Structure 1
């Protein structure tokens, strides 16, 4: 039985495995997915997880539940050696081990791009995984609780100050949703005033949302500013030590919550730890049919898709163009990849990946959004409804679609859930400090009794 090994269980990896399960004949091949997380994160829902509009677990799709005929290996691939047809896997516990393959699919996904900015590693949250989205939401809710118990002053102001770095889709959607949540929270905190909220969006370029044209991007900036946000264009984060934000435009302030959403970088596994061909950006060189290699020479039995692959964009109409790293492409590349792998196993010819963009749509908070398809631009509530409609259809499996719709319907009737579970990040703290009398605040004579 042939071994098909998929490195990475994100969009492209999940849809490749899912498609292979449907198309492979019984006993024809065994499919293995290697990923450190046991689920695929549906990243377009992360901004709504921030705002509490989508339950965190509903933004994740279990690999083991939905890939029922695929072997799932929990671990991180640290090296790919195609010369020996092996990958090295590092589990969370135990020694590294090797897995062999007959056919390799690399869909490892990108990692968050960071820079050596003082304080960034100690203070900032990323926005790429569901755990990070939950932690950001809990931090904001906890900050509101703490600020309400303090008098006006620098400490209270720091708790109510939020900074997002990065003006791409991830940063702008997360920023807009968290701003919407903060505004909605005020009615539950009569001790706080709207003018105390201080939200900053920092972008190094002269505009945000590069996927849309200039005028819609400028409209989004104006919309955020009308809601009280401060948008800093052509500005970089210079320092964030102890929450003290220093911007390249000379502005300084204290921020209790810092979120880094300044783009992606190629996965170090692909960039540094493989003998497969990579380009100057550290991405795998991929043909239009998703085989690794060039048009003149392909690497036998090796395929790639998603954020780590430089996939030619045949729909762009210009030579040298590559598909942008987004979910719209990754999902469709995974589906095409599964079909092409099965075609080769059955002796048929492969087909090139071609996808014409369906447009871009972004949420900017409850009831606010923007959509653009070529020259057609839709703003406000209609765009927000289009965003929700598209993504509830796009999230894989009916089980997840129904769960998400149920949460939205409940929120429409009863509003958002504003409970913070920040203590879940320290689950033993209550037991150690209160449940164990040795660590309680009781007097020594009471402990002796």
Structure 2
């Protein structure tokens, strides 16, 4: 009986995993430049964290979470997103007490949502995200947006669209909520079952519905921008002013609400406009979440962040024909002939590896011709040959596979010689 991986998961094999490693390295380096520090949180958390943090009325909590009871009867959930866990850690470890504020963090790791698998949307997927906690300055919103856009652009993407909206503060949202209820109530019977429930619980979620997105009432729904109070409008204007100063283009979409309850003020998505990318164009999204820290038991602390799908990032790179500068070739392949040479080679290979040189050798008992074929398949830059003649002369034959040149090198000099050659290669 064959056992396959669970539906909605994937194996990332050698040849592809190097792209992931490269992307993650670039993202981590960008965070370093912005002074964001890495945080690593557990893959599972208490279910209540996501119920309170993400929101009971969201599709994530109602339909998509992987939740189970442990042997102690505690309800645990595989994390469906990263922000709630980071905020929980921020509160639990009293990071808010640090004199260095705001606290600027980034994470990379697997998330889990039970939904219909499709291209770029898996049940286990990898998110990179950042969180800035402890500042209500609109300049931080602009910094977060800048980091997101710069990340995509530095990796080579050009067909990008930044979509921006303001969800306002509590007062603005209350006014907008009432307007939405009055607008959609006459159409309630025409909406899907989920939206009928959302209209009572959180009417803004109706605007985010995938089933009813083409209903005529959506096009005429009240805009949150028409219900922003003076403070919220001024805040939004400040964010836009910073983006203008940074030279970051954006499009305002008053129907952009995101899928999580904790957002307020700035909300945004970055989309790919590359031809052939697919029907789901969103690459990443995020926004401000003042109030979330208090919701999970911490002091009043403003916050903002975003998360991007690594899978969708790689899809966008492919759609735009961007080739990542990934080195696939092997530094050295060691060819040995005979048992004595093989044993001697093992010590030399170990020293080369300890010196930082990438080396492989034959473990299948291949003859010299087969070993050279292996070196060629692996794209070895150099082949080191050790046989009886070389042992007698206390030398190793080094062949530069890029030029075809061959050189005899003393056994006790081979490590230093190869270190110099690799510097020049």
Q: TM (normalized to structure 2)?
A: 0.24
Greater radius of gyration (CA): 2
Q: TM (normalized to structure 1)?
A: 0.23
Structure with the bigger RCO (C-alpha within 8 Å, sep 6+) is: 1
